[in-house]
Amino acid sequence: MVKVVTDSGADITQEEAKRLGITVVPVYVRFGNEVYRDGIDIGYDDFYQRLATDPVHPSTAAPSPGDFAAAYEQVASDTDEIVSIHITGKHSAVYDSALMGKQIAQDKNKRLKVEVVDSKGVTMWQGLVAMAAAKAAEAGASLQQVLAEAQQTIKQLRVLALLDTLKYAIKGGRLGKGFLAVESVLQVKPLLTLRDGQLRPAGIVRTRSKGIERLHEFLRSIRRAQDIAIVHSTTPNEAQSLAEYARSLFSNLTPRIVRLGSALGVHGGPGALLAVVREGE
């Protein structure tokens, strides 16, 4: 059976990963000289508290090629076919590191087939791709069929993100300082989307409540949905409310509510709130 590997930037819960047989390779988060494995060595609350109060802004680092090679070798004890799905290469070195890890693993095991996929997204965009691929694998799909399911899912995804501030994205090098100048002068809340793997501005609002209204509008713009994920960094009540709103629009679905892990939380910061939708029947 084909097995799926991803990285912790997908924000898949440990329970979901275990249920679907997904192997998650952790991204590294660094506060000065202290290095943590995302999702393992530092909890959500501790991370966001440090992010908001620590004078040292954290940085992230991709898992090493050796980390990926080790993960592939471990999975190879069960299968010779792996689909490895990762954060968009437009915003992270994780994809390239996975490619190098694939080469290391395949040099040791000539039978091993590893297909590395750029999810064209981050957080639960990537997570929904990995979960769709894992479900296809669980149903007995071939390697090529699992790849096709991953690529089809990528084409069906849409996302809108509300950030409380752009300063974390700018400190992390994900957006230019010109964005901060606009935000500081106008005191606005930015909205972002993804297009071809790139984070793009999707508008600005003056208040958080207006931003949540825009998230509602985004959900109403979806004609058919087969999966919805609500992602938040520090606002569980808002996430629950947004999930309930999504459920009111799509009564056949139960939107999943997920915390934004430290791999992406470094850039999103406290107050980040996202809706990720897979369109279609």
Q: What is the Cα–Cα distance from 125 to 144, expressed in whole angstroms?
A: 21
Q: Which two tokens stand for residue 197?
A: 């793997």
The answer to whether the CB of 97 falls within 8 A of the CB of 68 is: yes
Q: Residue 241 half-sphere exposure, CB side, CA atoms within 13 Å?
A: 10
Q: What is the Cα–Cα distance from 17 to 95, expressed in whole angstroms?
A: 19
Reference 116, options 87, 91, 141, 139; nearest CA is 87
Give the angle 235-270-174 at the CA atoms, nearest 5°. Answer: 135
Buried b (16+ CB within 10 A) or exposed e, 22-52: bbbbbbbbebeeeebbbbeebeeeebbebbe
Q: pTM of the predicted model, to two decimals?
A: 0.94
The predicted pLDDT at position 186 comes to 56
Q: How far is CA 157 from the centre of its chain?
A: 12
Q: What is the Cα–Cα distance from 20 to 16, expressed in whole angstroms?
A: 6
CATH class of 3-155: alpha beta
Tokens 């694939």, located at residue? 102
| Domain over 157-279 is classified CATH 3.30.1180.10 | yes
CA distances from 214 to 156, 209, 247 (A): 20, 9, 17
DSSP label at 207? S
Average pLDDT per block of 10 residues along the chain, 281 residues long: 97 96 97 94 94 92 97 96 95 95 97 97 97 98 98 98 86 54 64 89 92 98 97 98 98 96 93 97 72
Q: Which two tokens stand for residue 5?
A: 């590997």
The answer to whether the CB of 94 falls within 8 A of the CB of 15 is: no
The predicted pLDDT at position 112 comes to 97
Q: What is the Cα–Cα distance from 74 to 96, expressed in whole angstroms?
A: 20
Domain ranges of the chain: 3-155, 157-279
The predicted pLDDT at position 185 comes to 46
